[in-house]
């Protein structure tokens, strides 16, 4: 059952809902100058295609220019969090016990001194690769705990600020670094992330091309 705030937001958003559309509103708001802004979606009842979006506020202190800024912050946060949840969250669930057993076996073989020179090189490379994989997994798990703790706090408060936006983007930066650390490139991780986020924002904006600012 919706609370009073949720009822007010849906009432505000549904005034602009067209026939054959459903309205959904993200539960967490972007807090700017002590005013909460929410992101609403108008989806087709046939296929669920997003037809338009709205920045919603039922607070009397809203400002239109802040609402425009809120749109970017809301999209950045939810895109970033979804990426973290899908990639890091799923990776953190993996049980690395078998990897550690393989690493220990390889280490025992390498340290035995019984391998021919050519085979020792191969085994040492495999050992190093396995060790790096395990270290990366530990980093992924720690990163997921950090990200989940942050998002749990956002859910508990019901809102986020620029601080959380910066945190989640930083986490995506680290994940991007994990993905490209073996690539030869002159671009810094931060530059790659910014390029990725710009592409994502353009893609989202092309889909959500009918932005409404809905306020009392």
The string of pLDDT tens digits covering residues 122-166 is 888 888 888 888 888 888 899 999 999 999 999 999 999 999 998
pLDDT (average), residues 26-44? 90
Q: Residue 42, Cβ neighbours under 10 Å: how many?
A: 22
Helix (H, G, I), strand (E, B) or coil at 54: strand
Cβ neighbours of residue 39 under 8 Å, at least 6 residues apart? 25, 26, 30, 53, 54, 55, 56, 71, 74, 75, 78
The region of weakest confidence among 50-54, 176-180, 185-189, 206-210 is 185-189
Residue 189 has pLDDT above 50, yes or no: no
Q: Which of 195, 165, 191 is nearest to 75 (CA)?
A: 165
Please give the model's pTM, rounded to 2 decimal places.
0.71
Q: Which of 133, 123, 110 is nearest to 182 (CA)?
A: 133
Residue 104 has pLDDT above 60, yes or no: yes
Which two tokens mark 197?
Answer: 């986020």
Contact predicate 12/214, CB 8 Å: yes
Residues in the chain: 216
Structure confidence at residue 182 as a pLDDT band (50, 70, 90): very low
8-state DSSP, 116: -
Cβ neighbours of residue 98 under 8 Å, at least 6 residues apart? none
Q: Which of 20, 21, 92 is nearest to 54 (CA)?
A: 21
Round to whole Å and give the CA distance between 147 and 145. Answer: 6
């Amino acid at each position: 059952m919706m609370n009073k705030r949720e009822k007010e937001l849906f009432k505000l958003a549904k005034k602009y809902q067209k026939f054959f559309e459903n309205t959904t509103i993200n539960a967490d708001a972007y807090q700017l100058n002590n005013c909460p802004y929410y992101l609403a979606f108008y989806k087709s009842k046939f296929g669920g295609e997003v037809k338009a979006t709205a920045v919603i506020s039922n607070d009397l202190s809203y400002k239109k220019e802040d609402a425009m800024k809120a749109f970017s912050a809301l999209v950045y946060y939810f895109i970033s969090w979804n990426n973290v949840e899908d990639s890091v969250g799923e990776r953190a669930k993996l049980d690395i016990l078998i990897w550690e057993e393989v690493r220990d076996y390889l280490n025992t073989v390498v340290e035995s001194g019984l391998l021919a020179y050519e085979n020792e090189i191969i085994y040492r490379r495999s050992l190093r690769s396995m060790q790096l994989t395990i270290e990366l997994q530990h980093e992924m798990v720690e990163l997921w705990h950090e990200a989940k703790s942050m998002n749990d706090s956002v859910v508990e408060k019901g809102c986020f600020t620029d601080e959380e936006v910066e945190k989640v983007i930083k986490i995506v930066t680290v994940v991007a670094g994990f993905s490209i650390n073996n690539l030869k490139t002159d671009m810094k991780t931060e530059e790659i992330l910014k390029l990725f986020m710009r592409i994502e924002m353009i893609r989202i904006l092309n889909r959500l091309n009918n932005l409404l600012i809905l306020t009392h």
